Copies of this chain bind each other. A is one copy, B any other.
Amino acid sequence: MLKSKSNAPSPTEAIYERLWDAIAERNLRPGTRLKEEQLAEIFAVSRARVRSALAALERDGLVRLVPNRGAFVAEPTIREARDIFFARATIESKLVERLCAHASTGAINRLKAHVAEERAAAERCDRAAAVRLSGGFHLLIAELAGSPYLFEVLRDLVSRTSLITAMYQPRGEKDCGPDEHEDIVSKIACGDVEAAKLAMDHHLDHIERQLNLAQSDEGPRHLREILS
């Protein structure tokens, strides 16, 4: 996994992040071909570094690597999408349970502060921030629950969920606001384990239900234009 060096993000990470953003914000649509040389030129780095960034993105399920063919933005199938949500429910339910078991007031406050940030971003209509913060909420739960390993797995799952959302959620549909997150936090604050788990399950189920099977059919756009 990519190390999260707090101060200095490695060059590979930087490319990883920029591509991640472009995909999650729906600017790079599923199926788009990612040519190594092209990316190397755009980001002004060597091809080798692009390669390692693409390898990392493949590990997180955002990119599909075909031998001798190249890299493409992944196109998760409906079946895979449902599997991702199953995995999320499995893991997040347990994390909520564990968090309830020993939730400090500090933890509750961090959760509340995060939801407030989400609300602010939603009101600004800052899509990029909203997507990032929405995923961040779930990661925060994993962090506070105290399982570094499941935190990493969930980070992966959240990335994949972003891609799935970009692919299957109708463009008109508004992202789920911070209301359900707030609900989950309040249940955790009460210390009601079962209610909190149900709230999380319901939340994930709600996101899953918003998906539809019709794929977007806009024309392709040029990499150079999207990645500024």
Q: Which of A98-148 contact B (CB under 8 A)?
A: 147-148
Given contacts A86-B147, A90-B91, A147-B83, contact A58 B1 (CB under 8 A): yes
CB of A80 closer than 8 Å to a CB of B: yes
Query: Which of the residues B52, B58, B80, B148 comes within 8 Å of A80, measured between beta carbons?
Result: B148
Cα–Cα, bound, A52→B86 (Å): 31
Which positions 45-79 of chain A face chain B at CB distance < 8 Å? 52, 55, 58-59, 67
Q: Does A153 contact B (CB under 8 A)?
A: yes
Return the contact of A150 from the options B52, B55, B90, B149 (Cβ within 8 A): B90
- SS of A interface (majority): helix
Bound complex: CA A52 to CA B59 (Å): 13
Q: Nearest Cβ distance between residue A127 and chain B, in whole angstroms? A: 27
Query: What sequence of 0s and 1s flags, for each residue 1-19 of chain A, a beta carbon within 8 Å of any chain B beta carbon?
Result: 1000000001000000000
Contact assessment for B91 and A149 in the assembled complex, using a CB-CB cutoff below 8 Å: no
Residues of B within 8 A of A87 (CB): 147, 149-150, 153
Whether A84 sits at the interface, judged by CB under 8 Å, is yes
A204 CB to nearest chain B CB (Å): 14
CB of A202 closer than 8 Å to a CB of B:
no
Answer whether residue A94 sits at the interface, using C-beta atoms and an 8 A cutoff.
yes
Q: C-beta contact mask, A31-55 vs B, less than 8 Å → 1, else 0?
A: 0000000000000000000001001
| Chain B positions within 8 Å of A150 at CB level | 83, 86-87, 90
A153: chain B residues within 8 A (beta carbon): 87, 153
**Chain B residue with the shortest CB-CB distance to A58:** B1
Selected A-B contacts with CB under 8 Å, 27 pairs: A1-B58, A1-B59, A10-B67, A52-B55, A55-B55, A59-B59, A80-B148, A80-B149, A83-B147, A83-B148, A83-B149, A83-B150, A84-B149, A86-B147, A86-B149, A86-B150, A87-B147, A87-B149, A87-B150, A87-B153, A90-B90, A90-B91, A90-B94, A90-B150, A91-B91, A149-B157, A153-B153
